[in-house]
């Protein structure tokens, strides 16, 4: 009996990674639901606070393998012209500066005229728990491509009765150093680290 219990315990430990890598949801191609997707970035402002902005439009396509999530793939395309800060809402009376557009178009910042897209293409997915994973991919920004790893949590999945399609919900966090993409000489009073926070729902394509 004791040997049987030990064998069962060992089998459960060995099976755990496989269980963690599978999700009881339909496999296939999913696209992000833009009305329920948020991409926030933060940068330290003069060492005092984390200045927060967002991209209001991005497209993401997830080729989801429910039997083994590590075999899934993700492609994200961000429009830098959709960057949005709170400056236009809170700027001093009489000030008509469009700070969001300045960040999007100025050659010192996102330079959208020369680089109209920011892209992320996954290269590896590592399951780290029952509902968590590390997603590594190539981030291309300002013509520079470097690897970035995001910590991702699957919040859940369900059938959307209005659309009659399945949906997946994720949260993700990560960080990059802006100097690695050529922004180290700009606004030196700001921090180098840029923190990323993503909330998104994916719906079956088609």
The four Cα atoms 144, 151, 52, 41 give a dihedral, to 10 degrees, of 20
CB atoms within 10 A of CB 91: 14
Q: What is the pTM of this model?
A: 0.85
Tokens for 104, please give them: 């999007």
- The first and second tokens of residue 19, run together, are 């269980």
If the chain, 206 residues long, is cut into consecutive pieces of 10 residues, what is the mean pLDDT of each piece?
36 34 87 96 92 96 96 98 86 80 92 97 96 97 97 96 93 96 71 96 94
- 58, burial (CB in 10 Å: exposed 0-12, middle 13-18, buried 19+): buried
Q: What is the pLDDT of residue 97?
A: 76
Confidence (pLDDT) at 15: 32
CA distance linking residue 198 with residue 120, whole number of Å: 13
pLDDT (0 to 100) of residue 57:
93
Phi and psi at 138, nearest 5°, equal -95, 120
Q: What is the pLDDT of residue 98?
A: 87
- The span from the first CA to the last CA of the chain, in angstroms, equals 53
Which structure tokens are listed for 177? 């150093």
Distance (Å, whole) CA 46 – CA 92? 20
Domain, as residue range, for 22: 2-204
Kindly report the CATH number assigned to the domain that includes residue 31.
2.40.128.110
- Own/partner pairs, 103-108, CB within 8 angstroms, 24+ separation: 103/53, 104/80, 105/81, 108/186, 108/187
| Structural contact between residues 110 and 83, judged by C-beta atoms closer than 8 angstroms | yes
Give 76's contacts (C-beta < 8 A, 6+ positions apart).
58, 59, 60, 61, 119, 120, 121
Number of independent structural domains in the chain? 1
pLDDT of residue 49: 92
């Amino acid at each position: 009996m004791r040997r049987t219990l030990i064998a069962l315990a060992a089998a459960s430990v060995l099976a755990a990674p496989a269980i963690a890598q599978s999700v009881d949801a339909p496999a296939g191609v999913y696209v992000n639901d833009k009305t329920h997707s948020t991409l926030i970035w933060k940068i330290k402002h003069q060492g005092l606070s984390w200045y927060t902005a967002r991209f209001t439009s991005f497209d993401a396509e997830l080729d989801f393998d429910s039997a083994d999530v590590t075999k899934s793939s993700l492609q994200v395309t961000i429009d830098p012209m959709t960057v949005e800060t709170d400056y236009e809402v809170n700027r001093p009376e009489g000030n008509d500066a469009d700070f969001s557009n300045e960040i999007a178009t100025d050659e010192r910042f996102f330079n959208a005229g020369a680089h109209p897209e920011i892209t992320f293409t996954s290269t590896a997915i590592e399951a780290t728990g029952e509902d968590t994973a590390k997603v590594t991919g190539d981030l291309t920004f300002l013509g520079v491509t470097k690897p970035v790893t995001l910590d991702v949590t699957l919040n859940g999945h369900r059938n959307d009765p209005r659309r009659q399609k399945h949906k997946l919900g994720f949260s993700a966090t990560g960080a990059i150093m802006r100097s690695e993409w050529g922004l180290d000489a700009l606004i030196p009073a700001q921090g180098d680290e840029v923190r990323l926070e993503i909330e998104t729902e994916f719906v079956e394509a088609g």
